[in-house]
A = this chain, B = another copy of it.
Amino acid sequence: MEKETGDSASKAAIMRMPAYLRYLKAEFEKGSVFVSSSVIANALSLSAITVRKDLALVSSLPGKPRMGFSVQQLISDLEKFLGYKKRTNAVVVGAGGLGRAILRYEGFENYGLNVIAAFDISPAQIGAVAGKPVYPMARLKEIVLREDARLGILTVPRAAAQEACNAMVDAGIRAIYSLASTQLSVPEGVHIKYEDLAASLAAFSSGLLVSE
Interface of A toward B, CB cutoff 8 Å: 9, 11, 14-15, 17-19, 22-23, 26, 43, 82-84, 86, 88, 90, 96-98, 100-101, 104-105, 107-108, 110-113, 150-151, 153, 158, 175, 177, 181-183, 191, 193-212
Closest to A191 in B: B210
- Shortest CB-to-CB span from A188 to chain B, Å, is 12
Tell me whether B22 and A203 are in contact (CB under 8 A): no
* Beyond A14-B208, A15-B209, A83-B205, 16 additional pairs, beta carbon < 8 A: A9-B208, A14-B209, A18-B202, A22-B182, A83-B207, A84-B206, A90-B205, A97-B105, A98-B105, A107-B158, A108-B202, A111-B202, A113-B198, A151-B204, A177-B204, A193-B212
Tell me whether A150 and B183 are in contact (CB under 8 A): no
Q: Which of chain B's residues have a CB closer than 8 A to the CB of A14?
A: 203, 208-209
Tell me whether B183 and A22 are in contact (CB under 8 A): yes
